[in-house]
Amino acid sequence: MKNISPIFTKAWKNLERNYQSFKDVHMKEMFLRNKNRFQEFSINFDDKIFFDYSKNRIDQKIIENLIDLAKETHLEDAIKSMFCGKKINVTEGRSVSHMHLRGNILDENQNNFLQNIREKVNISLKKMKSFSEDVIQGIWRGYTGKKITDVVNIGIGGSNLGPKIMIQSLKPYRNHLRFHFLSNIDVEHFNDLLKKIHLETTLFLISSKTFRTQETLTNAYSIKKFFLKKAKNEKHMNNHFIAISMNIHEAKKFGVKSENIFKIWDWVGGRYSLWSAIGIPIVLSIGFSNFKQILAGANSMDRHFYESDFKKNIPVIMALIEIWYNNFFKFETTAVLPYNYCLRNIPNYLQQLGMESNGKNIDRNHQTISYQSNPIIWGGSGIDGQHAFYQLFHQGTKIIPCDFIGSVCVHDSDNEKSFTRDHHDRLMSNFFAQSEILAFGNIKKEQNICKKSNDILYIHKFLFGNKPSNSILIRKITPYVMGSLIAMYEHKTFSQGVILNIFSFDQWGVEFGKKSANYIFSEINDPLKKKVQYHDSSTNGLINLYKKWKIRY
């Protein structure tokens, strides 16, 4: 990849001028000027996902300059480099090839690296299929001969969030197995899990790429202790413990037999790993054929991203608009607002995807950046948010660009429809209303009503509008669509990293935090009970107070 600072491009200078002349233009004016704005600023993907970005503070000239920014920073070359398997994860010396877990869009016969990947992926998929079918059909049994009823995924970060969001989103496709996710080392979370499961009918999936992640291993070893206390014999672990890792040695050392280890590879980043064997919980939950549909949907988005002109390329447009707001308007956060209960936790997944990937302050030239990298990503269920934080959206002093995500169709039975016929229409009425009010406000309408009635409080009822948003309308939440949706955000994140000249695939800040925590853990459990004194006065004081109170407790 080329290492070009965006602020030194011609496009960036043009965007600075665009901002000065455009910053006070209201969206009402934009829509009045251009009657075809909705058609011009929207993209239909596969007739399954419709992306409307017309309610943004942009015009055609700004979009052209943003696309020029992508071209000047050589985004197209970077996309090709990633898909061809080049080592674009420079700081870790790795390729970034998670896309090839979900199918090819290039001719693999012309690339030995891709050919090798496809062979490995096919072997892994075959093993995942066989294993999942045995568990679902009751052939795989616990050590007492009982069928598996529960599955516990022990992992953190991408090893937790990816499978979790897919299983939650695709609830209508789920089978009889019950799923639990153990990521938190908080003892309250651990104890709560143990109350919900029976060890002799539970399968434990230890998902850790390195098999050295401290939170995951802490939980895994504690589960192992509880299991052996009941089962008495280590050989019974063979019926209940599965490892998903690239560190085969450490997985075996833990006690997982070779046949129960599913391999992943160093070219699969943790937060991009749900397409790999890390997705085994998904396969167990919805079946292998549905998992293949997830991969197919993602592969279709890969093709869209790779082949589409930037003017009609959803991930690229999303990335550019967010850069426009974060760096020129100084809008520092993005809210993700799902209007579908199945998608309620997608903001958590996108938080990690965006902020862990692009939350950097050093560029690819190894220099401190002077511009904004990734915005703060947050959000929550749209309908609940309307009675919580939307007031700030509408009348607060901060402007927060939003991604509204809603669906046309829902999964319900004929029996349920008779009772809930108008629920979804009411929900989606709010979806449409909120983006409209954010964009256009109510100033004229409210002012006229209030002045006629002599209401002296009319000024407090003003909604100025001009608050930007994207609307992502999904035809129906299916495995195929979920694959496409997640891949869309992955490629958005990649595009931003390229344009902003940062490395998106490492997370050294997170790694240092883990090392520091391990050191403090040894201080807390110091057998000599020495007073801690090697940190700052605040950290020393807090650790020593913790140790003091711990003894009393």
Residue partners of 181: CB distance under 8 A and separation at least 6: 152, 153, 155, 160, 163, 164
Q: What pLDDT shows up at residue 532?
A: 94
Rounded Cα gap, residues 284 and 131, in angstroms: 9
Model confidence at 528, pLDDT cuts 50, 70, 90, reads confident
Instruction: Compute the distance between CA of residue 499 and CA of residue 3 in angstroms, rounded to an integer.
Output: 9
pLDDT in tens, 474-517: 999 999 999 999 999 999 999 999 999 999 999 889 888 888 98
> How many angstroms separate the CA atoms of 438 and 56, rounded?
10
The total of other beta-carbon atoms located within 10 Å of residue 221's CB is: 13
> Over the stretch 335-359, which tens digit does the pLDDT of each residue have?
999 999 999 999 999 999 999 999 9
Q: Is 195 a catalytic residue?
A: no
Is 113's pLDDT higher than 90?
no
Give pLDDT, residue 450: 52
Could you please state the CATH topology (level 3) that the domain comprising 6-72+308-499 is classified under. Rossmann fold (3.40.50)
CB 271, CB 89: distance < 8 Å: no
Q: What is the pLDDT of residues 266-321, one digit of tens each?
A: 999 999 999 999 999 999 999 999 999 999 999 999 999 999 999 999 999 999 99
Share of the chain above pLDDT 90, in %: 86
Phi and psi torsions of 278, nearest 5°: -60, -25
pLDDT at 513: 85
Which candidate, 302, 279, 342, 290, places its Cα nearest to that of 477? Answer: 342
pLDDT for the residue numbered 446:
47
**Confidence band for 529, pLDDT divided at 50, 70 and 90:** confident
Q: How far is CA 336 from CA 33, 147, 228, 313, 543, in A?
A: 29, 40, 43, 20, 37
CATH class of 101-291: alpha beta
Sign of CA dihedral 67, 71, 73, 74: positive
Tokens 């520092």 sit on residue? 332
* Distance (Å, whole) CA 390 – CA 461: 14
Is residue 32's pLDDT more than 80? yes
pLDDT value for 457: 77
pLDDT above 90: residue 181: yes
Of 537, 119, 94, 169, the residue nearest 340 (C-alpha): 169
pLDDT at 414: 56
- The DSSP secondary-structure symbol of 277 reads G
Q: Does residue 518 register a pLDDT over 50? A: yes
Token digits for 374? Answer: 């990734």
pLDDT at residue 456 above 90? no
Q: Which of 195, 229, 249, 387 is catalytic?
A: 387
Using one digit for the tens of pLDDT, what is the confidence trace for 72-111? 999 999 999 999 999 999 999 999 999 999 998 887 676 7
Mean confidence (pLDDT) of the chain: 94
* CB-count exposure of residue 549 (10 Å: 0-12, 13-18, 19+): exposed
pLDDT digits (tens, 9 = 90+) for 159-177: 999 999 999 999 999 999 9
Nearest by Cα to 52 from 347, 547, 513, 435 = 435
Lowest mean pLDDT among 395-404, 417-426, 429-438, 465-474: 417-426
Give 413's pLDDT tier (boundaries 50, 70, 90).
low
Cα-Cα-Cα-Cα dihedral sign, residues 186, 188, 190, 192: negative
Q: Which of 292, 356, 490, 491 is catalytic?
A: 356
SS3 call for 405: strand
Rounded Cα distance between 127 and 121, Å, is 10
Q: In the beta sheet, which residues pair with residue 49?
A: 45, 474
Q: How confident is the model at residue 255 (pLDDT cuts 50, 70, 90)?
A: very high
**The pLDDT of residue 104:** 87
Structure tokens at 459: 């000024």
User: Looking at residues 102-127, what average pLDDT do you find?
Assistant: 87
- Name the strands in the sheet holding 202-207, side by side, starting at the edge strand that comes first in the sequence: 178-182, 150-154, 202-207, 241-245, 261-263
Domain boundaries, the chain: 6-72+308-499, 101-291, 509-552
Q: Are 149 and 177 in contact (CB under 8 A)?
A: yes
Looking at residue 115, its pLDDT comes to 87
Position 444 scores a pLDDT of 62
Mean local confidence (pLDDT), 39-61: 98
Question: Can you give the three-state secondary structure of 52-89, one letter per residue?
Answer: ECCCCCCCHHHHHHHHHHHHHCCHHHHHHHHHCCCCCE
**For residue 553, what pLDDT is reported?**
60
Sorted by sequence, the CB contacts under 8 Å of residue 519 that are 6+ apart come out as none
Torsion of the alpha carbons at 419, 422, 425 and 430, rounded to the nearest 10 = -100
Tokens of 305: 């991203």
Check whether 404 has a pLDDT greater than 80: yes
Q: Give me 97's structure tokens.
A: 């090839």
Residue 447 has pLDDT above 60, yes or no: no
Q: In what order do the strands lie in the sheet with 42-45?
A: 42-45, 49-52, 469-476, 402-409, 333-339, 376-379
More confidently predicted of 153 and 446: 153
**What pLDDT sits at residue 411?**
80
Q: Which has more confidence, 387 or 417?
A: 387
189 is catalytic: no
Top-confidence residue, 443 or 8: 8
The strand pairing partners of 406, in sequence order, are 339, 473
Catalytic residue among 514, 530, 531, 548: 514
Does 23 score more than 90 pLDDT?
yes
Under 8 Å between Cβ of 154 and 223: yes
Q: What is the pLDDT of residue 351?
A: 96
Active site residue 200: no
Tell me, yes or no, if the two domains 6-72+308-499 and 101-291 fold the same way.
yes
Contact in structure between 200 and 142 (CB atoms under 8 Å): yes
